Chain A
Amino acid sequence: MGAALRFLAVLAVALWTAGAAGQQPLRVVATTTDLKSLMEAVGGNRVQVVSLVPPQLDAEDYQPKPQDVARLRDAALLLRVGADYDLWADKLVRQSGRRELARGGERYVDCSFSIALLDVRGTEVGASGGHAHGNGNPHYWLDPANAEIITGTMLEALARVDAPNAKFYEAGRTQFLQRLRDKMRAWDQAVAPAQGKPMIAYHNTWAYFARRFRLNFAATIEPRPGVPPTPSHLAGLKNIIKKQNVMAIVRQPNEPLKHVQFLAGKSGAKVLVLAASVGAVPEAGDYLSLFDYNIGVLAQAFK
């Protein structure tokens, strides 16, 4: 069934491609690799997407390069995570001088549009301590169900700037969502052993991921996003680990090892490396394999 569908979809894509041969692909700029991967899933070979933040770097602390301004110059769309995650993009757009890429412009796409945000604490940018997270937790792409909303936003934007190909983009999105739904069933099964088991994360990255897959992140090593742990916070974590029998500490490859190792050494908990973005580990080559990898790690650890 799945194979037949896929064949039909590939056929449809091939036909569309043949029809549009010779067309220049639409140049799209995304701030992160995750948006890039989703955009590629929707736009297929009609779009050429570049992402600004290298996958191993922390997008919340990214410093744009001169090249990034040049990349915006001929961009048909700018995709951003929003929710105060990539605030530096505003400055970059201002530097490029292209109004239509700025907030409210017709080529500006805030992918957090219509997402149900978690951890809302403030109403403005720069809440107390550390980098924002004031407008809600920005790591919403880690809930694969949100991909449906994100790709919907992308499709709407593509149809706006490239109306003749709207049908092609819609087919691309439908096909992607079909694959995503199949995958989600498999992930739900695979992740079952890890559900509800207490874990500790370094940064408060996993709220959406936890909600979708019913995972229990009991605490974070950072007391507030971007703030290194204090001694009493570490003591509290040690207690949580002991009391709730925490078996795993989760870190991303770009997060500091020291505190994680310290806690793991004191408690015997396993350290799991999870990827929060496409490309953060070599196995997570695109949006779907990002979850393949993460769910695989969790299933392996708690089997």
Chain B
Amino acid sequence: MSDAIALLWLPFCISVALVGIHTALGLHVLRRNIIFVDLALAQIAALGATVAFMLGHAVNSSGSYAYSLLFTLITAMVLASTRAWSGRISQEALIGVIYVVAAAAAFLLVEKAPQGTEHIKQVLTGNILTAGLDELMVVAPVYAVIGAALWFARARLAHQASGVAGWWWDFFFYACFGVVVTSSVALAGVLLVFVFLIVPAAIGLLYADGARSLVIGWAVGVVASVAGLALSYAWDLPTGSTMVCVFGAVLAVAGALRPLLRGRQALARSVTVLRVVITGVLVLSGIWLCALPRADQPLLDVVERVVPEARTLYLTAQERTIHDEAEAYAERYRRQAEQLNAREAASRWQGAALDDNEVRRISSFLKSYNEMRKGEEFVQREVRSRARTRNRWVLGLALVLCGALIVPWPWWRLRGRQHTGDGQERGRTAGLG
């Protein structure tokens, strides 16, 4: 536990700083409907850093930062000038093109450089786990200043005036954005910065307006960051990607919970949708099982993975014994192979050295163990497939029946009721008016 805290407190502080500034920016981004602008600016910043790198500036030096900033500010000007660039196509199209062209150009540039592909991977997934205190000390004051500027200019930015003044405010916004993104992408990577920007702000706007949405976004962002970091530690997963997925899940939950707060009708409607979806999954799984019982059965596989006891439903006692034994043997072979590997690895530097023939013998043992393990896994699969084939009509029918029980039945009446319900509602409001 103390290990985890020692390792994760700094990434947590950085996440808080990033959530703080990005939620504020995200609210503007969502209002302006320029969702992918941060990807574009981040990629442009990365392109600037790459150009600096090719010109001989060290990674993370002030020279590389200056190039990033220069590229970003030029792009900010372009974006400010093209708010209504054609009147026919949304600015999002241009933003998308900037993103992919910058990404491809960076690829072309680093082609010949050492660390090239690594550099690009870093830009994408970042390194929030190993970011240092010194980096936080640099970005925190910058974020504070920009955050304050955004707060005082919020009315202007929301208004989106036209003409020269409007251009300056747009430029101001994109420049702030660029400065933030240049540093945050270096810390956390494009993917994580994108969810920091969009998810908390989106949840804030789902549930409230104005300053309250900002506060909700901050709270949600901090909670999701803690959850992501904790999960990444507990389940031994790469941190950045785990956090991105947790933020996605949090958005899904927030979206699903929203009807609860919006009255009975909205709730009933979403329950209906949910029931239809569940019915669909059950019925399709049932049909799929009847049609091709030996193919992958995602629903059954998931259920059996979560609750292995569910197998007793369709395996005979004998099949269960075979299945469990095969499982135990597979695990035993895996362990034995690992032990052999560990012994060989230890012999590289301590004890008597193994000669090539001994190493070859170990390798062939390892291969046999792995083959045997595969054999046992095949047995497990085969036992399940046969039992499924035998029971397919019963199981399939049961699934379809479950679906039928859950389906909002009957359809036409429900639809009719919903119509009249809406009508009544409208009538009532009209009467009130």
Known: A231-B232, A259-B130. A254 touches B115 (CB 8 A): yes
> CB distance A61 to B117 under 8 Å?
yes
Instruction: Find B118's partner among A195, A214, A254 (CB 8 Å cutoff).
Output: A254
> CB distance A214 to B360 under 8 Å?
no
Residue of B nearest to A214 (CB): B349
Instruction: Find A258's partner among B112, B127, B232, B239 (CB 8 Å cutoff).
Output: B127
* Interfacial residues of chain A within 172-223, with CB under 8 A of chain B in the complex: 195-196, 207, 210-211, 214-217, 223
> Chain B contacts of A214 at CB under 8 A?
348-349, 353
Known: A229-B129, A234-B129, A235-B7. A57 touches B371 (CB 8 A): no
Known: A210-B349, A216-B350, A228-B125. A253 touches B114 (CB 8 A): yes
Known: A227-B238, A231-B229. A121 touches B341 (CB 8 A): yes
Question: Is A123's beta carbon under 8 Å from chain B?
Answer: yes
Question: Is A136's beta carbon under 8 Å from chain B?
Answer: yes
- Stretch in A18-26, A27-35, A111-119, A293-301 touching the partner: A111-119
> CB distance B117 to A58 under 8 Å?
yes
Report the bound CA distance from A58 to B362 in whole Å: 29
Question: Is A256's beta carbon under 8 Å from chain B?
Answer: yes
> CB distance A216 to B349 under 8 Å?
yes
> CB distance B112 to A118 under 8 Å?
no
Report the bound CA distance from A207 to B354 in whole Å: 13
> Chain B contacts of A229 at CB under 8 A?
129, 238
> Chain A contacts of B232 at CB under 8 A?
230-231
- Looking at B122, B239, B357, B366, the one whose CB has the most chain A CB atoms below 10 A away is B366
Instruction: Find A265's partner among B4, B121, B132, B237 (CB 8 Å cutoff).
Output: B132
Chain A contact residues, majority secondary structure = loop
Min CB gap A241→B, angstroms: 13
Q: Mark A116-128, 1 if CB is under 8 A from B, else 0.
A: 1111111100000
> CB distance A230 to B349 under 8 Å?
no
> CB distance B3 to A120 under 8 Å?
no
Report the bound CA distance from A302 to B84 in whole Å: 64
> CB distance B236 to A223 under 8 Å?
yes
Report the bound CA distance from A215 to B239 in whole Å: 31
Q: How many of chain A's residues touch chain B, expressed as a range?
A: 35 or more
**What number of B residues sit within 8 Å (CB to CB) of A?**
47
Report the bound CA distance from A207 to B370 in whole Å: 20
Question: Is A56's beta carbon under 8 Å from chain B?
Answer: yes
> Chain B contacts of A253 at CB under 8 A?
114-115
Question: Is B363's beta carbon under 8 Å from chain A?
Answer: yes
Q: Mark B336-357, 1 if CB is under 8 A from A, else 0.
A: 0100010011001110010011
Question: Is B273's beta carbon under 8 Å from chain A?
Answer: no
Report the bound CA distance from A265 to B135 in whole Å: 14
Question: Is B367's beta carbon under 8 Å from chain A?
Answer: yes
Known: A121-B337, A255-B118. A56 touches B113 (CB 8 A): yes
> CB distance A121 to B132 under 8 Å?
no
Known: A121-B337, A123-B374, A262-B130. A256 touches B238 (CB 8 A): no
* Interfacial residues of chain B within 1-45, with CB under 8 A of chain A in the complex: 3-4, 6-8
Residue of A nearest to B239 (CB): A231
Question: Is B393's beta carbon under 8 Å from chain A?
Answer: no
> CB distance A136 to B363 under 8 Å?
yes
Min CB gap A258→B, angstroms: 5
Question: Is A67's beta carbon under 8 Å from chain B?
Answer: no
> CB distance A116 to B348 under 8 Å?
no
Report the bound CA distance from A13 to B208 in whole Å: 84
Report the bound CA distance from A57 to B359 in whole Å: 30
Known: A57-B116, A116-B363, A256-B115. A230 touches B237 (CB 8 A): yes
> Chain A contacts of B112 at CB under 8 A?
54
> Chain B contacts of A280 at CB under 8 A?
114
Min CB gap A121→B, angstroms: 7
Min CB gap B230→A, angstroms: 9
Question: Is A103's beta carbon under 8 Å from chain B?
Answer: no
Q: Mark A222-250, 1 if CB is under 8 A from B, else 0.
A: 01000111111111001100000000000
Instruction: Find A56's partner among B114, B122, B236 (CB 8 Å cutoff).
Output: B114
Question: Is B329's beta carbon under 8 Å from chain A?
Answer: no
